[in-house]
């Protein structure tokens, strides 16, 4: 108990530090922009960048030198045309950032209207660095840069602006540091005052009492409904749980395909998910309750996160479609119920089994109805290869966790082992065809974690025996998947005369996931296959290539940080609204800057408790850690929106980590 009431100084410092950094960013942005705007801290008006992928496109006597990364113009009147794909068409300034220009010269820039007509033409004396051009009234749909004499240069950025930029980014770091220092000084003074006033009074710690109250409320609700399901046998409960989990996993996949994701559909979808989660919670409620202790930073961060999201949703006018209602109204009771189970691994087993069953169903569907077209990245059950890859990496978690549990068994059926191994091998096969780098990284990390998790068990005889069996089976499976699987994928759908729909987006093999820009620019992909793509990314030496254009999206999202978030995604590449391609940035965009504090704390403690679960050999402990690792890694560079597979698996897995008896309270 003494330990429980001791404040966690590291956590307090981490919270203060993250908050300080965010406040400093916020104030710095406001100071730079010269305005106090809670809806966009860096209020510099609308900005549209022509994606740097377009800078590589060739023009008339205009060549992009891929080796030296420069543009070379030959002869007179070399020109290149760039589309302006932004939603906004009226702009006041054009900022042209150049580098490597051998000498200053005069360029001509033509501005085009909707029908390809020239609206106006401007001359610009260009030099290295930023060149600013004030624009006339008119809707701009494209620009043509005309260089009069042969020269070589590289374009840093072509951006259209609504307002002139009155500051320099070089001011930002110093300003940021100054604000951070002031922040810590004020925190220090405040802490001093608190300590001074509290020193004489006996300190009665009430830490975590609200958690107990919340726990109690959930427990009573579960007790009320749980008694209805007490008569059901354990196998029937397991069956029902699997069914509910499958509905939960299938709904977000089917709903957008069957219906448009309108507000009403999303609300109904959430209602269905809530009903399934609650049903699982009631089914899992154990009458002989185990002690549940939610007084730990993970739970606190989780609740603060969803409360903050609730506030943000309220401010932005999201009603029943707020996921926070689902989480606090249905997911939290599931966590509670899970914690009270005498054998919580049952629920984990049911969940991983549901994931695996759905994977098999999906694989059969792919084999018969989704052809693999050579030269294209495979999109599987989705219309996007990255989504499919993310799904595969997530399902891999279930197979690895299941294999990890099975390998240690004394009596292991070959059928179970074969199912696991075949699953893992086929996932690798599919993943290779998707050529998704982010998911590959997640996949590799999952394997590393899995192998790390195996060390404590390596000496047992049964384990060694099962491992040998698994290796033999995997050889068989590799040949099976490599030959017959690939043949089926290539030929079976043709036999059925199944074809991809036109609207589905299939990137060419070797092409970046966000490389519509590159494709539009006629930039041919030199690399094909996953390994070549990976090599090309790493060796290119350019951020754009490494992140496949995500860096541009991230920059747009960072520039639009605000207090309560935005209603939807921001207009990014090609003027279309796109996800942030980063979980943290997406959260900040959706719910405001300060959501980062509980989100990061939650992720940190999820990883920490996940590792702890593996170390203390908690049953299915590996699953919890893998689920979080998968979410974190995919969240670094991919879309992990609400209700996506990686999101669902991670947030359901958190339930297994919620109860941490004896954990320090802060």
Partner 1 sequence: MEENRKFHIFLLLFAGALISVMLTMMRLGGSINFQEFMSAGRVYDFEPWELQRNSKNWIYEKENKGYRLSKEKAQKKFLLDGSVQTWDFLYVTVGELSKEPVDGVLKYYDGEGKKLLEQPISLSLGKNMIQMDSSLPISMIGIRLSDVQGEFISITRMQIRTTPSWFTPRHFCSLFAVAFAGVMAMLFCLAFVLRRFRGGRKGNAVWIILESIQSGMNVIGDFLGSRLGGRLYQQQRDSLRSFLFSVLFVWMIFGNAAGWLGSAAMCRYHTLVCALLLLFISLVSWEAPLQHQFWRGPIMKSWLGIWLGVVLCDLFTIRQLESIAGYAMLFAGSIFLYFCQNMERPERLLLNMMQGLEATFFLGIVYCMIFRMKKPAVEYNGVFKSPEELAMYAVLMEIVFLTRMDWFLSGRKDQPVGRTGRFLFCVKVVTGGALSLFLVLRSGHTVGIAIFAVIGIFYIPNLLKKLYNMARKCRILFVDVIAAAILAYAFTGIVFVGIKYIPGILGMDLNYKNELLLTGLMGEERELYRLQYPMDLYGVQTKEAEKLPIIWQNYGRRLNLFGHEGRCIVFRRVIQPYNGYLDMAYRHGIFILLPYVAFQVMVIVLGIRCAVFKRGRSNFFLLFLGTAYLCFSFCANVEISWGHPLWLCYYLSIGLLGKIESEKT
Running DSSP on this structure, what letter comes out for residue 595?
G
Site for partner 1 in 175-214 (CB under 8 A): 209-210, 213-214
Query: Which of 184-192, 220-228, 249-257, 488-496 is the region at the interface with partner 1 (rule: CB under 8 A)?
Result: 220-228
- Interface with partner 1, residue 307, by CB under 8 A: no
Binding mask 320-349 for partner 1 (x = CB under 8 A): x-----------------------------
- Interface with partner 1, residue 317, by CB under 8 A: yes
In the numeric block, which tokens belong to residue 355? Answer: 């994931």
Query: Which of 224-232, 481-489, 506-514, 646-654 is the region at the interface with partner 1 (rule: CB under 8 A)?
Result: 224-232
For partner 1, the closer CB: 316 or 559? 316
13, 38, 314, 452: residue in contact with partner 1 (rule CB under 8 A): 314
Distance of closest approach, residue 280 Cβ to partner 1, in angstroms: 17
- Interface with partner 1, residue 271, by CB under 8 A: yes
For partner 1, the closer CB: 229 or 368? 229
Distance of closest approach, residue 145 Cβ to partner 1, in angstroms: 43
Place of tokens 């099976």: 480
Query: Cβ–Cβ contacts within 10 Å for residue 321, how many?
Result: 18
Place of tokens 């089976």: 473
Distance of closest approach, residue 659 Cβ to partner 1, in angstroms: 18
- Interface with partner 1, residue 277, by CB under 8 A: no
Exposure string for 403-437, b = 16+ CB within 10 A, e = fewer? bbbbbeeeebeeeebbbbbbbbbbbbbbbbbbbbb
For partner 1, the closer CB: 228 or 236? 228
**Helices (DSSP H) in 227-317: which residue ranges?**
234-258, 263-284, 297-316
Distance of closest approach, residue 264 Cβ to partner 1, in angstroms: 6
- Count of residues of this chain found to bind partner 1 when the rule CB under 8 A is applied: 23
For partner 1, the closer CB: 315 or 471? 315
Q: Which residues contact 619 (CB under 8 A, 6 or more apart)?
A: 344, 345, 348, 405
For partner 1, the closer CB: 273 or 573? 273
Tell me how far apart the alpha carbons of residues 505 and 377 are, in angstroms, rounded to a whole number: 10
For partner 1, the closer CB: 313 or 511? 313
Distance of closest approach, residue 295 Cβ to partner 1, in angstroms: 15
- Interface with partner 1, residue 224, by CB under 8 A: yes
For partner 1, the closer CB: 212 or 254? 212
Q: What's the angle, vertex CA 636, arms to CA 630 and CA 637, rounded to 5?
A: 110
Sheet containing strand 78-83, edge to edge, reads: 78-83, 142-147, 105-112, 118-126
The burial of 461, by beta-carbon neighbours within 10 Å (0-12 exposed, 13-18 middle, 19 or more buried), is given as: exposed
- Interface with partner 1, residue 217, by CB under 8 A: yes
Write the CA distances from 64 to 59, 99, 206, integer angstroms: 9, 14, 66
3-state DSSP call for residue 153? strand
For partner 1, the closer CB: 218 or 594? 218
Phi, psi (degrees; rounded to nearest 5) at 376: -120, 150
Residue 485 · residue 367 · CB < 8 Å: yes
Site for partner 1 in 228-267 (CB under 8 A): 228, 262-264, 267
Distance of closest approach, residue 217 Cβ to partner 1, in angstroms: 4
Distance of closest approach, residue 305 Cβ to partner 1, in angstroms: 19
Sign of the torsion formed by the C-alpha atoms of 5, 7, 10 and 11 = positive
Q: How far apart are the first and last CA of the chain?
A: 13
Query: Which of 24-32, 68-76, 186-194, 315-323 is the region at the interface with partner 1 (rule: CB under 8 A)?
Result: 315-323
Distance of closest approach, residue 221 Cβ to partner 1, in angstroms: 4
Tell me how far apart the alpha carbons of residues 188 and 16 are, in angstroms, rounded to a whole number: 11
> In sequence order, what DSSP letters do the residues of 11-37 get, joined into one string?
HHHHHHHHHHHHHHHHHHHHHHHTS--
42, 221, 244, 578: residue in contact with partner 1 (rule CB under 8 A): 221
**Helices (DSSP H) in 90-204: which residue ranges?**
171-198
216, 458, 504, 542: residue in contact with partner 1 (rule CB under 8 A): 216
Write the CA distances from 213 to 209, 216, 292, 298, 545, integer angstroms: 6, 5, 12, 17, 51
Binding mask 500-529 for partner 1 (x = CB under 8 A): ------------------------------
For partner 1, the closer CB: 120 or 225? 225
Residues of this chain that bind partner 1 (CB under 8 A): 209-210, 213-214, 216-218, 220-221, 223-225, 228, 262-264, 267-268, 271, 314, 317, 319-320
């Amino acid at each position: 108990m003494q330990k429980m009431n001791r404040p966690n100084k590291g956590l307090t410092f981490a919270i203060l530090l993250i908050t300080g950094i965010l406040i400093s960013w916020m104030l710095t942005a406001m100071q730079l922009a010269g305005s106090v705007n809670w809806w966009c801290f860096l209020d510099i008006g609308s900005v549209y960048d022509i994606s740097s992928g377009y800078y590589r496109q060739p023009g008339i006597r205009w060549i992009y030198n891929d080796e030296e990364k420069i543009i070379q113009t030959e002869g007179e009147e070399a020109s290149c045309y760039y589309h302006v794909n932004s939603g906004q068409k009226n702009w006041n300034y054009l900022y042209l950032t150049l580098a490597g220009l051998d000498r200053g010269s005069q360029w001509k820039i033509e501005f085009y209207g909707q029908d390809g007509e020239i609206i106006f033409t401007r001359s610009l004396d260009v030099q290295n660095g930023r060149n600013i051009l004030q624009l006339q009234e008119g809707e701009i749909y494209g620009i043509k840069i005309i260089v009069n004499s042969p020269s070589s240069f590289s374009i840093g950025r072509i951006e259209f602006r609504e307002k002139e930029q009155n500051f320099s980014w070089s001011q930002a770091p110093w300003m940021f540091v100054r604000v951070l220092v002031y922040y810590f000084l004020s925190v220090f003074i405040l802490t001093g005052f608190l300590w001074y006033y509290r020193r004489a009074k006996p300190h009665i710690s009430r830490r975590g009492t609200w958690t107990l109250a919340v726990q109690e409320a959930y427990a009573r609700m579960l007790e009320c409904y749980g008694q209805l399901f007490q008569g059901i046998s354990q196998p029937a409960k397991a069956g029902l749980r699997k069914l509910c989990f499958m509905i939960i996993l299938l709904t977000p996949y089917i709903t957008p395909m069957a219906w448009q994701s309108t507000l009403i559909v999303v609300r109904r979808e959430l209602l269905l998910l809530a009903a399934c989660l609650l049903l699982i919670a009631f089914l899992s409620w154990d009458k002989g309750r185990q002690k549940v202790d939610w007084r730990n930073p993970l739970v606190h961060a989780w609740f603060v996160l969803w409360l903050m999201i609730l506030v943000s949703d309220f401010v932005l006018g999201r009603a029943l479609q707020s996921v926070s209602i689902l989480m606090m109204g249905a997911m939290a009771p599931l966590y509670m119920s899970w914690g009270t189970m005498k054998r919580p691994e049952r629920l984990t087993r049911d969940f991983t089994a549901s994931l695996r069953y759905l994977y098999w169903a999906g694989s059969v569907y792919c084999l018969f109805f989704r052809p693999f077209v050579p030269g294209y990245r495979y999109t599987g059950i989705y219309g996007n290869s990255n989504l499919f890859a993310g799904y595969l990496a997530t399902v891999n978690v279930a197979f690895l966790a299941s294999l990890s549990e099975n390998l240690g068994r004394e009596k292991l059926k070959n059928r179970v082992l074969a199912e696991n191994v075949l699953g893992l091998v086929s996932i690798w096969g599919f993943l290779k065809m998707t050529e998704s780098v982010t998911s590959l990284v997640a996949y590799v990390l999952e394997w590393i974690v899995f192998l790390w998790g195996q060390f404590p068990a390596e000496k047992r005889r049964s384990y060694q025996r099962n491992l040998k069996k698994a290796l033999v089976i995997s050889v068989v499976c590799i040949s099976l998947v490599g030959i017959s699987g690939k043949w089926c994928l290539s030929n079976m759908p043709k036999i059925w005369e199944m074809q991809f729909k036109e609207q589905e987006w299939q990137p060419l093999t070797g092409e970046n996931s966000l490389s519509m820009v590159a494709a539009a620019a006629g930039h041919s992909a030199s690399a094909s296959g996953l390994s070549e793509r990976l090599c090309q990314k790493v060796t290119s030496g350019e951020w754009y290539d490494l992140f496949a254009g995500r860096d541009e999206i991230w920059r747009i999202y960072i520039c639009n940080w605000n207090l309560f978030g935005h209603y939807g995604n921001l207009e990014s590449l090609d003027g279309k609204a796109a996800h942030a391609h980063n979980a943290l940035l997406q959260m900040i965009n959706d719910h405001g800057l300060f959501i980062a504090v509980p989100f990061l704390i939650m992720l940190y403690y999820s990883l920490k408790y996940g590792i702890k679960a593996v170390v203390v050999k908690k049953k299915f402990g590996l699953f919890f850690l893998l689920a979080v690792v998968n979410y974190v890694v995919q969240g670094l560079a991919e879309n992990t929106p609400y209700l996506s597979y990686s999101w669902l698996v991670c947030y359901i897995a958190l339930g297994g980590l919620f109860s941490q008896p004896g954990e320090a309270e802060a």
